[in-house]
Amino acid sequence: MKYVDVKNTLGKHFCVGSFSIILAVLLNYFSEAGLSTAFARVSFFLLFLTLIIGPIMRLRKPKKEFSVFKKPWTWRGELGIWFFITALLHFYFAMKHDFIGGSLINALGGGIGGGGLGIANLLGLIALVLSLILTITSFNKVIKYLGMESWKWVQSFTYVVFYLVFGHLIYFQFFTTHGSGPDWFGYTSVVMFLVVLVLQILAFFKTVKESRGEREEEQEKPKEENKSEKKKD
């Protein structure tokens, strides 16, 4: 079975969308996160979920008893699209806020002028542009148009987005005076990063093991066929 999500449904969009907005509002209300930070954190969490589903499915076969989440991979498209929407909201609120002076030139110029702020913003911007491409190619009609192989190749860039966003957030959490230094989110995001990395490595080894097994089986087949032919002679 191939764990590919080629069909996005309105019901799932409603679930993921309301979950994302409620989570951002709760983060904004109960922790001291501003709207930009709240949407940034939700966005990172959605990206994390999108990325762990694939390797988990490769490592473990789904159990039948799971009802709603029986097919977790079918949520990937909706999670990915809402990751982009919340990232866009984060960008909008960050631009409105004083720390990037309301101008993209200012945002990117910070790094060239000295600090790493411009580089961090640039990483975020590249991630956002790549995410736009990933989102456009997540709609049913586009998937059909591209064909499965090309679509899969494009989607593999999700990992690139993840590593860019991780660099972006680590800068703000650990290397700036923005906020009061690393907080619970900073440390949680490092754990989330390690989870994605380990799952990716384990899934890779499983794929290697399986394809080696298949190749060995194929190599043994002709030998057995030869033996049985000789017996007949």
Q: Which residues bind ligand HEM (CB under 6 A)?
A: 36-37, 40-41, 43-44, 87, 90-91, 94, 99-100, 107, 121, 124-125, 127-128, 131, 165, 168-169, 172-173, 178, 185
Residue closer to ligand HEM, measured from CB, 3 or 157: 157
CB of 69 to ligand HEM, least distance (A): 24
Token reading at 211: 């394809």
Judge residue 107's burial from the number of C-beta atoms within 10 Å of its C-beta, 0-12 exposed, 13-18 middle, 19 or more buried.
buried
Residue closer to ligand HEM, measured from CB, 45 or 151: 45
Cα 67 to the center of its chain, rounded Å: 24
Other beta carbons within 10 angstroms of residue 32's beta carbon come to: 12
Residue closer to ligand HEM, measured from CB, 125 or 197: 125
CB of 115 to ligand HEM, least distance (A): 12
Give the three-state DSSP class for 27.
helix
Residue closer to ligand HEM, measured from CB, 1 or 105: 105
CB of 102 to ligand HEM, least distance (A): 11
Closest C-alpha among 28, 8, 150 to residue 81 = 8
CB of 197 to ligand HEM, least distance (A): 17
Which residue's Cβ has the minimum distance to ligand HEM?
124
Closest C-alpha among 158, 197, 185 to residue 50 = 158
Residue closer to ligand HEM, measured from CB, 48 or 57: 48
Measured between alpha carbons, how far is 38 from 27 in angstroms, rounded to an integer?
A: 6
Token reading at 201: 């490595």
CB of 4 to ligand HEM, least distance (A): 23
